[in-house]
Structure 1
Amino acid sequence: MVKQVLALCLYFGAYYVILSQARRTSVKVFLLGLMAAVLKLSESLTMENISHVVDFNTIGLLLGMMIIVSVLKTTGFFQMAAIYAVRFGKGELKRTVSLLMVFIAVLSAVLDNVTTLLIFAPILFLVSDAVEINPSKLLMLGVISSNIGGMSTMIGDPPNIVIGSASGLSFNSFIVHLVPISLLVLLIAVRMLLGTVSGEHVSEAGLKNLAATDPKQAVTDKKLLIKIALVFLATILGFAFHNVLEIDMALIALLGAALSLVLAGRSFEDVAKEVEWDTLFFFMGLFSLTHAVQVTGILDRFAGLISRLQYVPVLFIVLTWLSAVMASLLSAVPTAITLVPVMKYLIGLGYPVQLWWALALGIGLGANLTPIGAAVNIVGVSLLKKFTGKSLSFGDFFQTSLPFVLIALAISSVYTLLIGLLGW
Structure 2
Amino acid sequence: MSTVVAVVVFVVAYVFIATEKIPKMVAALAGAGVVLAFGVVGSEDAFFSHETGVDWDVVFLLLGMMIIVGVLRKTGVFEFTAIWAAKRAKGSPLRVLVLLVLITATASAFLDNVTTVLLMAPVTLLVCDRLDVKPAPFLIAEVFASNIGGAGTLIGDPPNIIIGSRAGLSFNDFLVNMGPIVLLEVIVFALVLPRLFRDSFTADPARVADIMKLNEREAIRDPRLLLTSGVVLAAVFTAFVGHSLVHIEPSVVALLGAGVLVLVSRAKPKDYLAAVEWETLLFFAGLFIMIGALVKTGVIGDLAKLAADATGGNALLAVMLILGVSTLLSGVIDNIPYVATMSPLVLALTQDIPDPTHSEALWWSLALGADFGGNMTAIGASANVVVLGIAARAGSPISFWEFTKKGVIVTLITVLVAAPYLWLRYFVFSAG
TM-score by length of 1: 0.78
Note the alpha carbon deviations across 1:90-134, whole angstroms, 9 max, x for none.
3456544432332344455532425523430341353355xxxx7
Report the CA distance between 1:305 and its aligned residue.
Answer: 0.5
Q: Does structure 1 residue 161 correspond to structure 2 residue 152?
A: no
Q: Does the 8 Å CA contact 1:302/1:342 hold for their aligned counterparts? A: no
Which has the larger displacement, 239-248 or 410-419? Answer: 410-419
Match for residue 126 of structure 1 among 130, 136, 142: 130
Residue equivalent to 1:26 = 25
> Can you give the 5+ residue segments of structure 2 that lack an aligned partner in the other structure?
352-358
Residue equivalent to 1:408 = 414
For 1:324, the aligned partner's letter is T
Residue equivalent to 2:90 = 90
- Tell me the distance in 2 between the aligned counterparts of 1:49 and 1:410: 39
- Tell me the distance in 1 between the aligned counterparts of 2:320 and 2:88: 40
Residue equivalent to 1:342 = 342
Residue equivalent to 2:368 = 361
> Can you give the 5+ residue segments of structure 1 that lack an aligned partner in the other structure?
none
Residue equivalent to 1:287 = 288
Q: Does structure 1 residue 320 correspond to structure 2 residue 326?
A: no
Q: How does 1:131-280 map to 2 (within 5 A)?
A: 141-152=141-152, 160-161=157-158, 164=161, 168=165, 178-194=178-194, 197=198, 206-266=207-267, 270-280=271-281
Matched residue SS, 2:44: coil
Which has the larger displacement, 283-292 or 198-207? Answer: 198-207
Report the CA distance between 1:259 and its aligned residue.
Answer: 1.4
Which has the larger displacement, 28-37 or 139-148? Answer: 139-148
User: RMSD of the alignment, in Å?
Assistant: 4.0
Note the alpha carbon deviations across 1:35-87, whole angstroms, 9 max, x for none.
32333224673588445643323333232222222222322222212211111
Q: Does the 8 Å CA contact 1:94/1:198 hold for their aligned counterparts? A: no
For 1:164, the aligned partner's letter is I
Q: How many residues align?
A: 410
Report the CA distance between 1:190 and its aligned residue.
Answer: 2.0
Which has the larger displacement, 6-15 or 198-207? Answer: 198-207
For 1:323, the aligned partner's letter is S
Q: Does the 8 Å CA contact 1:44/1:50 hold for their aligned counterparts? A: no
Note the alpha carbon deviations across 1:326-378, whole angstroms, 9 max, x for none.
455x3xx5344345313333324546566454344334434545666667667
- Tell me the distance in 2 between the aligned counterparts of 1:378 and 1:42: 24
Q: Does the 8 Å CA contact 1:64/1:254 hold for their aligned counterparts? A: yes
Residue equivalent to 1:80 = 80
Structure 1 327/265 Cα, relative in aligned 2: closer, same or farther at 3 Å? Answer: same
Structure 1 345/392 Cα, relative in aligned 2: closer, same or farther at 3 Å? Answer: closer
Residue equivalent to 1:66 = 66
Structure 1 376/293 Cα, relative in aligned 2: closer, same or farther at 3 Å? Answer: closer
Q: Does the 8 Å CA contact 2:67/2:276 hold for their aligned counterparts? A: yes
Residue equivalent to 1:40 = 39
Which has the larger displacement, 198-207 or 245-254? Answer: 198-207
- Tell me the distance in 1 between the aligned counterparts of 2:47 and 2:399: 45
TM-score by length of 2: 0.77
Residue equivalent to 1:299 = 300
Report the CA distance between 1:387 and its aligned residue.
Answer: 7.8
For 1:365, the aligned partner's letter is F
Report the CA distance between 1:316 and its aligned residue.
Answer: 2.5
Note the alpha carbon deviations across 1:227-270, whole angstroms, 9 max, x for none.
11221121111122222223223222222221122122136665
For 2:224, the aligned partner's letter is K
Structure 1 199/190 Cα, relative in aligned 2: closer, same or farther at 3 Å? Answer: same
Q: Does the 8 Å CA contact 2:277/2:390 hold for their aligned counterparts? A: no
Matched residue SS, 1:64: helix
Report the CA distance between 1:278 and its aligned residue.
Answer: 2.7
